[in-house]
Amino acid sequence: MSKFDLTRRGVLKTGAITGAGLALPTIFTSGASAFTNEPMGGTVTLGFNVPQSGAYADEGADELRAYQLAVEHLNGEGDGGMLNTFSSKVLEGNGILGKKVQYVTGDTQTKSDAARASAKSMIEKDGAIMITGGSSSGVAIAVQGLCQEAGVIFMAGLTHSNDTTGKDKKANGFRHFFNAYMSGAALAPVLKNLYGDDRKAYHLTADYSWGWTQEESIAAATEALGWETVAKVRTPLGAGDFSSYITPVLQTDADVLVLNHYGGDMVNSLTNAVQFGLRDKMVNGKKFEIIVPLFSRLMAKGAGENIKGIHGSTNWHWSLTDEGSQAFVKSFGTKYGFPPSQAAHTVYCQTLLYADAVARAGSFNPCAVAEALEGFEFDGLGNGKTLYRADDHQCFKDVLVVRGKENPTSEYDLLEVVEVTPAAQVTYAPDHPMFAGGALGQCNAG
């Protein structure tokens, strides 16, 4: 007996049902949601995913302040900040595409799993159309992957690892902040001028994605100058007391210490290095020097006096005198009573850039937004002329080389800009070996 009992009527019936089933998604999408969390009412929701607890909570708090300021400006409240100086003029202070901007916040806790959970909740429960945030490369990479799967745009906050727009880049993810390669490219010429081309460098490196890429980038840039890399020592994240990593430096003939540390680790390792008299030491007839490739004002505050005279790089600093930076410092300073950090600046820019891309695309569809951001050139956001490169979704702009100020005039006046390195000097080919191994893939609209 045959198992298949085919009749003409049965085939027609099944065919009709299957056909209707297949057509169903298109029937719905033509009138209903065409992509994840399409805003239907008079509002649009953005998801701000920042560390509100954990080691980077202070940076997260500053990011949140900047996000709130950006939302105010997009909705036409306050003085408009950098909307007035932004080269693109499509944003009119009436929300995004006429929809009032509202936001939800999540706490990443500076942990990848917590960050993914809060981003997921904001997308699924709160209907966030875009997720933005950061303060750790590990977290940014994890959330970027989630947004790609969920079909929403991810506008990265503070993340400096090459991998974010290198091997882990995604079609739905965009980064305004600079990266470790750019730090190396910007610092190298300044270091050559200051310390010459015959130096021996000793690296202490935070043992995770960001630390590794920064160590690789800085070692490559300084070796190209003729420097020798004596040792690359990995230190556990949150080691606390770094004295047992600092004392071996005294026993080598290294005359430069490179601290690939960030946040609390950097504050502690730098403090230890200064306590052990490294800055007063003479090696090979040269004065011993310390370099901190990635600087931030919040870290400089933690390190206190130890930061004086030490060189590093930063994405932006409030003392810049261009029109955009001044407008932002004025808005932020008037509202909160102190100048913004580089973390605050980059997330404010990212929020404006997203809103602008939606307005230019005329749609919230992530694929349309991504297309509007790709290859977008702009100015007036505090870093000079900037390009959002289509190949890897990385912004290319000037990078600042800074130095801990010897005689600060206030508690915020901790860093001074030594050089503004032009974008051309920090630009690399999309297939550069330090960024190889990943692909953007296809944009996902959900």
What kind and span of H or E run contains 161?
none
Q: Does 357 bind other proteins (CB under 8 A)?
A: no
> Looking at 166, 339, 366, 404, which residue binds other proteins (CB under 8 A)?
339
Select 208 or 338, whichever has its Cβ closest to other proteins.
Answer: 338
Q: Does 267 bind other proteins (CB under 8 A)?
A: yes
Taking the CA of residue 422 as centre, how many other CA atoms within 13 Å lie in the half-sphere pointing to its CB? 2
Select 54 or 430, whichever has its Cβ closest to other proteins.
Answer: 54
Could you count the other beta carbons within 10 Å of the beta carbon of residue 427?
A: 16
Contacting range for other proteins; rule: CB under 8 A; set: 39-47, 77-85, 97-105, 297-305 = 297-305
> Looking at 294, 329, 359, 401, which residue binds other proteins (CB under 8 A)?
329
Shortest Å distance, C-beta 51 to other proteins? 8
Q: Does 335 bind other proteins (CB under 8 A)?
A: no
The set of residues, in sequence order, having a beta carbon less than 8 Å from that of 436 and lying 6+ positions away, is 166, 167
Amino acid at 133: G
Tokens of 204: 């202490």
Contacting range for other proteins; rule: CB under 8 A; set: 100-108, 173-181, 269-277, 381-389 = 269-277
- Rounded Cα gap, residues 419 and 189, in angstroms: 10
Q: Does 53 bind other proteins (CB under 8 A)?
A: yes
> Looking at 1, 6, 22, 282, which residue binds other proteins (CB under 8 A)?
282
N- to C-terminal Cα separation, the chain: 46
Shortest Å distance, C-beta 140 to other proteins? 18
Tokens of 243: 């004295």
> Looking at 44, 46, 55, 156, which residue binds other proteins (CB under 8 A)?
55
Q: φ, ψ for residue 259 (rounded to 5)?
A: -100, 100
Query: What single DSSP character describes residue 187?
Result: H
Q: Does 82 bind other proteins (CB under 8 A)?
A: no
- Rounded Cα gap, residues 95 and 71, in angstroms: 8
- Rounded Cα gap, residues 103 and 129, in angstroms: 10
Shortest Å distance, C-beta 338 to other proteins? 8
Contacting range for other proteins; rule: CB under 8 A; set: 40-48, 79-87, 163-171, 271-279 = 271-279
Q: Does 57 bind other proteins (CB under 8 A)?
A: yes
Q: Is 377 left (phi over 0), alpha (psi -120 to 50) or beta?
A: beta
Q: 3-class SS at 103?
A: strand
Q: Does 248 bind other proteins (CB under 8 A)?
A: yes
Q: Does 298 bind other proteins (CB under 8 A)?
A: yes
> Looking at 236, 309, 362, 433, which residue binds other proteins (CB under 8 A)?
236
Tokens of 429: 């080919």
- Rounded Cα gap, residues 407 and 41, in angstroms: 54
Task: Give the helix ranges, DSSP H, for 293-361.
Answer: 297-303, 323-336, 342-361
Binding footprint of other proteins, residue count (CB under 8 A): 51
Amino acid at 250: L
- For 36-147, where are the E strands, in sequence order? 43-50, 100-107, 130-133
Site for other proteins in 127-186 (CB under 8 A): none
Contact 81, 327 (CB under 8 A): yes
Q: Does 302 bind other proteins (CB under 8 A)?
A: yes
Contacting range for other proteins; rule: CB under 8 A; set: 117-125, 140-148, 178-186, 294-302 = 294-302
Select 80 or 304, whichever has its Cβ closest to other proteins.
Answer: 304
Query: What single DSSP character describes residue 283?
Result: E
Q: Does 262 bind other proteins (CB under 8 A)?
A: no
Q: Does 413 bind other proteins (CB under 8 A)?
A: yes
- Rounded Cα gap, residues 189 and 16, in angstroms: 71
Shortest Å distance, C-beta 319 to other proteins? 8
Select 227 or 245, whichever has its Cβ closest to other proteins.
Answer: 245
Q: Does 417 bind other proteins (CB under 8 A)?
A: no
Q: 3-class SS at 48?
A: strand
What residues make contact with other proteins under the rule CB under 8 A? 53-58, 231, 233, 236, 238, 240-241, 243-245, 247-248, 250-251, 263-264, 267-268, 271-272, 275-277, 280-282, 298-299, 301-306, 318-319, 329-330, 333-334, 338-339, 409-410, 412-413
